[in-house]
Structure 1
Amino acid sequence: MNNFRALIFFCGILVTLLSGCDANTIVDSNRSMPARNWNYANKVTTVIEIKDAAKPVSIYFKLRHTNDYKYANIFVLFEIKGGGQKKQTRRYEYKLAQPDGQWNGSGSGNLYTYVMPLLTNYRFPAAGKYELAIEQNMRDNPLKEISDAGIKVVSLEQRK
């Protein structure tokens, strides 16, 4: 009977691990914020290598905050540099809560998680290595109750 339980447990873990994999994900990085404080200096960065600039990607901003986050929105700066191109910086605002205070993200305990689009169906201007960076752009520094932030890049090309 114990072997049967162990087999069921192992199969459950295996299914969970395999279902979490996305063959089209190029990068999925997170940065944990010290003491849940996102400082201007704590940029979330990742480097990707683009081999074929004709293939489109989508780039997402990932965020996790606690229930004690005191704003209904967040402003971030998104920066792309590399590939022999000039650095590009864009400012984004994301609504995190409804007017009644209900969080828009998916909740688990005291944490709320978001995956929000930065660029969809985007084509890099040329092949090469690119550094992507996200910086919080609120008035508060540090921005309190941010657990972690990240960048996810997904290829829109169907893999075979």
Structure 2
Amino acid sequence: MIVKSRSLFFSVVCFLLATPSCTKLDVFEKNVAIPKNEWNYNFKPSFNFNITDTGSEYNLYVVIRHRDAYRYNNIWLNIGTQSSKDTMRFQRFDLLLGTDAKGWDGTGMDDIWELRKSITNGPFKFNKPGNYIFSIQQIMRENPLLNILSIGIRVEKVK
């Protein structure tokens, strides 16, 4: 009886572990480490991803990891977007990372903080299928910008 119970328990656990791996996640996320945690104006990471479903809506985020020692409550970014046949178009963003009253936004562990900031006013539709390129440049007055660990892009399909 105990052997059958263990066998049934093992089968159920294996099934539960295997089931989530069959689902497809409609998310692209890539992060790039900032060399020496000092983001220089010249360092402009780019991110390539492919869109096949132009009927769906997507949420677009910038993903930032920084140290608690980061000196500002915000970060100014110049974000470029390019589809496969267009030229790169740039837009400036002033992203709030925290406030003096409430502290840092996002999640923290020890002295490292990570947060996602939306760069659209709600869900967004891509007009054309194909390859898209995002480029991110810091445009703060400080160069290099200290205590930024990584920067990234997250594109997730709205369910």
| TM-score > 0.5 by shorter chain | yes
- What root-mean-square deviation, in Å, do the aligned CA atoms of Structure 1 and Structure 2 show? 2.3
Partner of 1:90: 91
1:129 pairs with 2:131:
yes
Q: AA paired with 1:81?
A: Q
Deviations along 1:130-152, one digit per CA (max 9) or x if unpaired, are 11111111111110000111111
Say if 1:79 and 1:88, in contact at 8 Å, map to a contact too. Answer: yes
Match of 2:107 in 1: 106
For the structure 1 residues 28 and 92, does the alpha-carbon distance in structure 2 shift closer, same or farther, using more than 3 Å as the test?
A: same
Residues 102-137 of structure 1 deviation map (CA, whole Å, 9 limit, x = unaligned): 222311001011111012311122122111111111
Residue in structure 2 matched with residue 3 of structure 1 by the alignment: none
Once the two structures are TM-superposed, the CA of residue 85 in structure 1 deviates from its matched residue by: 2.7
Tell me which structure has the larger Cα radius of gyration.
Answer: 2
Question: Separation in 1 of the partners of 2:85 and 2:53?
Answer: 15
Deviation at 1:101, TM superposition (A): 6.7
Runs (4+) off by over 4 Å: none
Establish whether residue 149 from structure 1 lines up as the match of residue 148 from structure 2: no
* Amino acid of the structure 2 residue aligned with 1:24: D
- TM-score for both structures, normalised by structure 2: 0.79
Unaligned runs of 5+ in 1: 1-10
* CA offset digits 1:16-64 (Å, max 9, x no partner): xx69x97121x11011111111112222311111223222111100001
Identity of aligned residues (%): 25
Is residue 2:43 matched to residue 1:42?
yes
Residue-pair matches, total? 141
Task: Tell me, yes or no, if the aligned pair for 1:44 and 1:151 is still in contact at 8 Å.
Answer: no
- Equivalent residues of 1:30, 1:44 under 8 A apart: no
Question: For 1:58 and 1:101, how far apart are their aligned partners in 2?
Answer: 26
Distance 1:101 1:58, change over 3 A: closer
Q: For the residues of structure 2 that align with 1:94 and 1:150, how far apart are their CA atoms?
A: 14
Amino acid at match of 2:40: N
Q: Which moved more, 1:111-120 or 1:99-108?
A: 99-108
Q: How far, CA to CA, are the matches of 1:91 and 1:79 in structure 2?
A: 9
Q: For structure 2, which runs of at least 5 residues remain unmatched after alignment? A: 1-12
Evaluate the alpha carbon distance shift between residue 34 and residue 49 of structure 1 in structure 2; reply closer, same or farther with a 3 A threshold: same
- Matches of 1:84 and 1:125 in 2, distance apart? 12
Worse overlay, 79-88 or 129-138: 79-88
